[in-house]
Structure 1
């Protein structure tokens, strides 16, 4: 029997015990009133005795009925008892004032069901009733009807009533106490089960993180080589057919990388451990370049592909450039994929915040003339795994992740669609405006042309090492490159030679990049100790990134990378 079945069984037992106690309460009420009725006939209080019979019948009905809850039964019982006790007090109030003690029973009932507000209301009603009856009796109305009662039985009847009340309270409270003890024991057992489940969940979480880290690393490492070789070949003169094949290979590797990133991002968003990386960037240039990335795909489908950027948008803003690119690129690809004829258009506009001109509300509209989105799919479009049946390239995570990223940016996404007429997506993102940009584009270009740096490349993967060497040689014509295959080899070369920078892989045999960096930072030679170190890692988790920075690395680049990204980081560190 699994844990869920055991929990359900335990809950059923608890409910059964509550139900059993509730039936017992009304059975006990019935038994008590039978005794009371017998004594009432014995003392020749016939009017009250006959009046108790309907109450006994009501109690017997409640003890057998499952139609009403215990609280509902208790409230009805309270009002019936109040009427009955008031009737008894009217008949025997002058000489049998102890009958008022019976009012305690309905009050106790309300306390048990924790209906405190009703208890106070009922207490007030009882006080008013007793006061009115006593007042009228005082002026000779004789509602007490003294002749029906023998004065000598007063004390005995008083003790009898008190005894009945005490027996009722003791029995009921004992039953309730036993039930509470059972519940506490049951809760302790469930608490142990929850702790065990929590421990298992922690283990599963650790295994999940480990799996995704390994998967990411193992896929990104060969992808890095594929993208690097593709980039090197594209820079060489090729026939048109070869160039087309290289473009397809590049597109396929980018698509595979996007799928890996989507899975990792989706996991991070679900776990609540996703964080944004804010940088200063050129908004117009970024969105224009992003739009051009899909021109070839749109051209192959012979659809019109247009972009309009308003003159009012700021040049530089502060935000997570990569995540904005990811959102827009995903929507553009979807628009092209689902449009067989017609057009895809991207309009970039926005407004400045009226209260703070330093903030710009970016508005991006991406529209297509494709097949549109069915209402059933539209209702769950931003949920995980929502995708059209005709989609051949999607696992249904792109829009879910886009929505999650926009929520983190305090932005929004919505859409309007008509079947066979097209779809339009609306994105808004608030972005701080950078008025005095520190962008060093010109300096970077000059640096790339004139640099004669000595760089130590460290990677245990020979293919990635050779590809990176070739890429850097193509861009940094005058630089000198040295190769190392693990952290220990890198330390030895660094001690024997003078380098300007180290590009360090993180996961390597013999000695990993984190350990090697720590040893370099602990060096007694100040010049060698402070050499810039850039991590090249296939792990993209926040924890791994922090480990790189904590070890003393100056920056990190995730695989697979564009050579332009490495050059920008190298230039940024060198120029700073």
Structure 2
């Protein structure tokens, strides 16, 4: 060949002739012609390949695809085209060559050009296509692609599994095969507009090969293929049967939980009501007896009745408090109050119990404790009272010391710390956290020896945490314990804070009521409750009238004037709520007489509920004599709603 003829071509051209042995067998090949590009590709540093034998130049050529195709052309006389990767063995690095071998008598002409970039792009396209197909086929949701007329051109494995079809059953078929006809038309109509569209998920039904209709969620993209005026629809389908089932189960579980919570609340409310009603008779009569002339033995017996009734009340209140805390319905209600007075009152309350056991009870309030703080006096009193009661209970001899300090106020907030130290039996270190769990004490022997339910400390810790503090303990068996309560309080502005009524309600004598001569109507269907109320009121020079239901009460109010009404809420026939409503709406001159609700309902929200109904005051059972007289005095003298929860006295 005339190589110069091919020097201007941007391709490699060479002539290869076979080298034969004496038997005529090809043992090598010789380059008999080559253009300049061929020379440079084989000998980049210069020189000529003409006359060079190929196998001697590079033995790797012996088994190369190039040589195999040259042999084929020499044997058949046909032109062969092929693509091959050339590596170092042929002096070319990672190049992809497209070669044509042309017969030329007893030699061949080889024409090659590099297609490395094209091959790479092709391989990348194939790789991306395979990767996308793998992603679609392994997706957990169904994917189907249809062309503009709705003919399916691709479905993934999830779609085949859900529909029950084979790929050959669907490809080339209308997508309508997978849905009811009307539903399919409605769905496609949304996305046949120009440009690219996307649907939010919508519910539909997939029709399987067996004819079953499956509830699905469908979203569809309408897109144009790049460089083409062709629209395809890419549909994403999700089987929502399991999701719907789980959502239904969740709703059912939520409904059952709410129902259980309601039933629990109703049970607690009923339990509280049913216990408080007879307990009102027990404690009421015992309090009345305590004011009579009794022998020493009778006084002791009455004291036992009162102590037992109070213990039952503490248990009942603890259970209700724990229930409210667990339900998230117990709220902390800070008010400005004299904390020093509250501490003094609490100290006096426990002093007599400590004296009975021969224990020295002492209280020290650090001078840096402000007189007035904004805190929840009921819950703080409950927390400190629980700690002090426990300390006295578990101390046989020695002392119980209450020390109260206060950290400097930052941004108007202070942290109050109460240490209750005793010289009692102590607690093993590995049992300390255990005693703060509900219904837990140190061990069974503690319950048998000292009694109790194990609720007090659990409630105390949870209340303390709700007030921004905590309760901790350190103890050593045989030496005693130190319980530390902390809670957060706002420092009140004493200059603008009105003086608080510091009367101690829990004094041992009867309060001076200032109610002498008042006309009182007591309404209750329980004759024991009527007797308890009368026993309390008889000592205050009051004019008492009794009624056993709402209808009788209205009759008495029509017949005469009264200064105050003590009304039971739950009564057969006409109850207290309806009686109050009829009274306020009547033309009776007594229609605006103050009415205090006497009720065994003492759950969270009961007070607000009854005051919103129009009652002027609220006293929960069992009724405490001093509390009842105080509430009556408040309503009559201050003209504002009175509240008194039953307390152990």
- Structure 2-normalised TM-score? 0.61
Indicate conservation of the 8 Å contact 2:137/2:158, yes or no.
Answer: no
Residue 316 of structure 1 and its aligned partner are, at CA, apart by: 4.7
Aligned residue for 1:459? 524
Indicate conservation of the 8 Å contact 1:458/1:485, yes or no.
Answer: yes
1:557 equivalent to 2:581? Answer no
1:384 equivalent to 2:447? Answer no
Residue 222 of structure 1 and its aligned partner are, at CA, apart by: 1.3
Aligned residue for 2:429? 375
Aligned residue for 1:133? none
Change over 3 Å in CA distance of 1:98–1:217 after alignment to 2 = same
1:461-488 CA distances to partner (integer Å, 9 max, x unpaired)? 11121111111222x2x32111111122
Indicate conservation of the 8 Å contact 2:324/2:604, yes or no.
Answer: no
Residue 176 of structure 1 and its aligned partner are, at CA, apart by: 8.1
Residue 269 of structure 1 and its aligned partner are, at CA, apart by: 0.9
Match for residue 513 of structure 1 among 568, 571, 576: 576
Structure 1 gap segments, 5+ residues each: 1-42, 49-85, 116-166
1:430 equivalent to 2:488? Answer yes
Residue 534 of structure 1 and its aligned partner are, at CA, apart by: 1.1
Indicate conservation of the 8 Å contact 2:85/2:96, yes or no.
Answer: no
Aligned residue for 1:439? 500
Q: Please give the alpha-carbon distance, in whole angstroms, between the structure 2 residues aligned to 1:382 and 1:89.
A: 79
Indicate conservation of the 8 Å contact 2:585/2:591, yes or no.
Answer: yes
1:238 equivalent to 2:294? Answer yes
Residue 364 of structure 1 and its aligned partner are, at CA, apart by: 1.5
Indicate conservation of the 8 Å contact 2:334/2:375, yes or no.
Answer: yes
Q: Please give the alpha-carbon distance, in whole angstroms, between the structure 2 residues aligned to 1:419 and 1:176.
A: 69
Indicate conservation of the 8 Å contact 1:457/1:481, yes or no.
Answer: yes
1:362 equivalent to 2:347? Answer no
Aligned residue for 1:503? 566
Aligned residue for 1:13? none
Structure of larger gyration radius: 2
1:314-333 CA distances to partner (integer Å, 9 max, x unpaired)? 44544433222221121112
Change over 3 Å in CA distance of 1:554–1:340 after alignment to 2 = same
Match for residue 402 of structure 1 among 457, 460, 466: 460
Q: Secondary structure at the match of 2:590?
A: helix
Aligned residue for 1:79? none
Structure having greater relative contact order (Cα 8 Å, sep ≥ 6): 1
Match for residue 536 of structure 2 among 459, 464, 471: 471
1:325 equivalent to 2:352? Answer no
Greater shift in the superposed pair: 317-326 or 221-230 = 317-326
Residue 216 of structure 1 and its aligned partner are, at CA, apart by: 0.3
Q: Secondary structure at the match of 2:545?
A: strand
Q: Secondary structure at the match of 1:504?
A: strand
Change over 3 Å in CA distance of 1:450–1:349 after alignment to 2 = same
Tell me the number of residue pairs that the alignment of Structure 1 and Structure 2 aligns: 441
Aligned residue for 2:603? 541
Q: Secondary structure at the match of 2:498?
A: coil
Q: Please give the alpha-carbon distance, in whole angstroms, between the structure 2 residues aligned to 1:326 and 1:443.
A: 16
**Aligned residue runs from structure 1 range 35-46, under 5 A:** none
Aligned residue for 2:632? 570
Q: Secondary structure at the match of 2:468?
A: coil
Q: Please give the alpha-carbon distance, in whole angstroms, between the structure 2 residues aligned to 1:305 and 1:562.
A: 26
Residue 237 of structure 1 and its aligned partner are, at CA, apart by: 2.9
1:337-396 CA distances to partner (integer Å, 9 max, x unpaired)? 22233321111232452433xx55432211112233333332344332232113322222
Indicate conservation of the 8 Å contact 1:458/1:505, yes or no.
Answer: yes
Indicate conservation of the 8 Å contact 2:400/2:423, yes or no.
Answer: yes
Aligned residue for 1:285? 341
Q: Please give the alpha-carbon distance, in whole angstroms, between the structure 1 residues aligned to 2:295 and 2:493.
A: 44
Aligned residue for 2:585? 522
Aligned residue for 1:185? 241
Q: Secondary structure at the match of 1:529?
A: coil
Change over 3 Å in CA distance of 1:212–1:172 after alignment to 2 = same
Match for residue 394 of structure 2 among 310, 334, 338: 338
More helix per residue: 1
Residue 419 of structure 1 and its aligned partner are, at CA, apart by: 3.3
Indicate conservation of the 8 Å contact 1:371/1:421, yes or no.
Answer: yes
Q: Please give the alpha-carbon distance, in whole angstroms, between the structure 2 residues aligned to 1:176 and 1:524.
A: 79
Q: Please give the alpha-carbon distance, in whole angstroms, between the structure 2 residues aligned to 1:88 and 1:462.
A: 110
Q: Secondary structure at the match of 1:237?
A: coil
1:5-63 CA distances to partner (integer Å, 9 max, x unpaired)? xxxxxxxxxxxxxxxxxxxxxxxxxxxxxxxxxxxxxx988989xxxxxxxxxxxxxxx
Q: Please give the alpha-carbon distance, in whole angstroms, between the structure 2 residues aligned to 1:547 and 1:293.
A: 31
Q: Please give the alpha-carbon distance, in whole angstroms, between the structure 2 residues aligned to 1:186 and 1:523.
A: 61
1:198 equivalent to 2:254? Answer yes
Change over 3 Å in CA distance of 1:550–1:219 after alignment to 2 = same
Aligned residue for 1:258? 314
Q: Please give the alpha-carbon distance, in whole angstroms, between the structure 2 residues aligned to 1:361 and 1:523.
A: 53
Q: Please give the alpha-carbon distance, in whole angstroms, between the structure 1 residues aligned to 2:138 and 2:633.
A: 73
Aligned residue for 1:411? 469
Q: Please give the alpha-carbon distance, in whole angstroms, between the structure 1 residues aligned to 2:157 and 2:389.
A: 71
Change over 3 Å in CA distance of 1:103–1:481 after alignment to 2 = same
Aligned residue for 2:116? 93
Q: Secondary structure at the match of 1:229?
A: helix
Match for residue 448 of structure 1 among 510, 513, 519: 513
1:486 equivalent to 2:549? Answer yes
Greater shift in the superposed pair: 210-219 or 319-328 = 319-328
Q: Secondary structure at the match of 1:528?
A: coil
Greater shift in the superposed pair: 374-383 or 493-502 = 374-383
Residue 113 of structure 1 and its aligned partner are, at CA, apart by: 11
Structure 2 gap segments, 5+ residues each: 1-80, 87-92, 98-113, 140-151, 164-215, 218-236, 639-649
Change over 3 Å in CA distance of 1:383–1:373 after alignment to 2 = same
Indicate conservation of the 8 Å contact 1:491/1:520, yes or no.
Answer: yes
Indicate conservation of the 8 Å contact 1:318/1:434, yes or no.
Answer: no
Residue 401 of structure 1 and its aligned partner are, at CA, apart by: 1.4
Aligned residue for 2:171? none
**Aligned residue runs from structure 1 range 103-252, under 5 A:** 103-105=127-129, 107-108=131-132, 170-172=155-157, 174=159, 183-252=239-308
Change over 3 Å in CA distance of 1:355–1:88 after alignment to 2 = same
Indicate conservation of the 8 Å contact 1:89/1:100, yes or no.
Answer: no
Change over 3 Å in CA distance of 1:431–1:168 after alignment to 2 = same
